[in-house]
Amino acid sequence: MTHSMTISTKAQSRTFFLVIAVQFISTAADNALLIVAIARVIELHEQAWIIPALKLSLTFCYVLLAPFVGPFADYLPKGRVMLIANLLKTAAVCGLLLGTDPTLALALAGLAAAIYAPAKYGLITELLPASQLVRANGFFEGVTVSAVVLGTALGGFLISPLLIARVMPEWLLPLPLASTGLLAGMLTLLALYLVATMLNFWVADSGARYASHSIHPIWMIRRFFQENRILWTDRLGGLSMAITTLLWGVGATLQLIVLRWANETLGLPLAQAAYLQGVTALGVVCGAVLASRYVKLADAIKLLPMGVLIGLLVPLMLAIGSVIWASILLLLVGALASYFVVPMNALLQHRGHNLLTAGRSIAVQGFNENGGILLMLAIYAAATAHQVSLQALIICFGLLITSIMLLVCFVQRRLSEAKVAL
């Protein structure tokens, strides 16, 4: 059961936009951190499969800690949980500065992200009524992906020769820092995370309170999988969960495939390939804005055929040999994916909040979506280790999206006679 204190509309609005600001800065830094970590792996002359392993380490904590982060987000005011998460991200960058293995540093950042997700999305669900969730998610997604665009471009800048050539400031010489040309970039990331951390001190408490439960690990794990079953067996919740799990998994893997494709097919170095990846994110912003304006929560299911179209567009990468056409395709794919996923994400949050609690439902969602990412990245890492061609990987991912979305459309059509009220 949820208990809440009264919070004024003005305070709700201020808190919402403050969360947006923290999300923007933190997400921009997260995406730049991944690019810098990849550059660090290359600088250390590690094997090629280590690069997808970076994403794996970033995602693993989402899955491993999912039974615990939801109750943790519901136990404390969510602004305080976000503060803790950004402190952990700051520690991850400090680890890179001190010479920690990039995979371990990204794992710590993954721990922070796992804690952060149910807090930020849960807070929005607590603050706003169901009628505003699609619009809020579209706005939130637009801001988030704008941060991805900026963060990806920032990552390319942080590993560019302009910053690599910077000499270490004299006041840093006594510190036991790693011998790296990426020092200026790492210090920039540290500053961004510190700003995000400071802003968290002004995030107001929504006033939502939940009944306390046992914190015994076994009981929490059992309860978590019961909550998983509740959400999966709900027709709308299970349908939206299947779609978001698929597209988040494929999207995270395509992020790395685009970097490789830009390098092997278009001849772009990592710094410029990161800019091209940002074009996809720009498309996601456009799709999110359109979805927030034109799609209602009750109409989310009608967008299912769009998932099939996305799958059919992915293999077109193989027919492109210029940066301009590559940018157009990636912009289109990003826009369609966002226009499709934003309403599905809002639908899943709404069903989860009704069936569970804000924090717990987001933890279940994060577990499944990041489990999908983990599985896809593991497959990609194995394929890279076995030197599977880029062309085969792109075709397989396109076929995977198309076939699963066709199956989802078929199942939904069979269930269409059963009216499920939101």
Instruction: Tell me the C-alpha distance between 295 and 371, whole Å.
Output: 28
Calculate the average pLDDT of the chain: 80
The structure's pTM equals: 0.67
Mean pLDDT computed over 232-259: 83
Query: End-to-end alpha-carbon separation of the chain, Å?
Result: 20
DSSP character string of 366-417 = HHHHHHHHHHHHHHHHHHHHTT--HHHHHHHHHHHHHHHHHHHHHHHHHHTT
Mean pLDDT computed over 360-377: 81
pLDDT at 3: 47
Please determine, for residue 364, whether its predicted confidence score (pLDDT) is greater than 80.
yes
pLDDT at 171: 57
Instruction: Tell me the C-alpha distance between 145 and 272, whole Å.
Output: 19
User: Tens of pLDDT along 202-212?
Assistant: 876 665 656 56
Question: Hey, which bits of 151-282 come out as E strands?
Answer: 208-210
Mean pLDDT computed over 371-389: 82
Instruction: Tell me the C-alpha distance between 201 and 206, whole Å.
Output: 14
Provide the pLDDT confidence category of residue 66 given band limits of 50, 70 and 90. confident
E strand or H helix that includes residue 2: strand 2-4
Which of the 8 DSSP states describes residue 4?
Answer: E
Instruction: Tell me the C-alpha distance between 257 and 139, whole Å.
Output: 27
Domains of the chain, each with CATH number or no CATH? 2-204+218-415 (1.20.1250.20)
Q: Which residue has the tokens 């794992």?
A: 107
Taking CA atoms, 421 is separated from 135, 235, 408, in Å, by 20, 10, 19
Please determine, for residue 194, whether its predicted confidence score (pLDDT) is greater than 90.
yes
Please determine, for residue 103, whether its predicted confidence score (pLDDT) is greater than 70.
yes
Instruction: Compute how many other C-beta atoms are within 10 angstroms of the C-beta atom of residue 281.
Output: 24
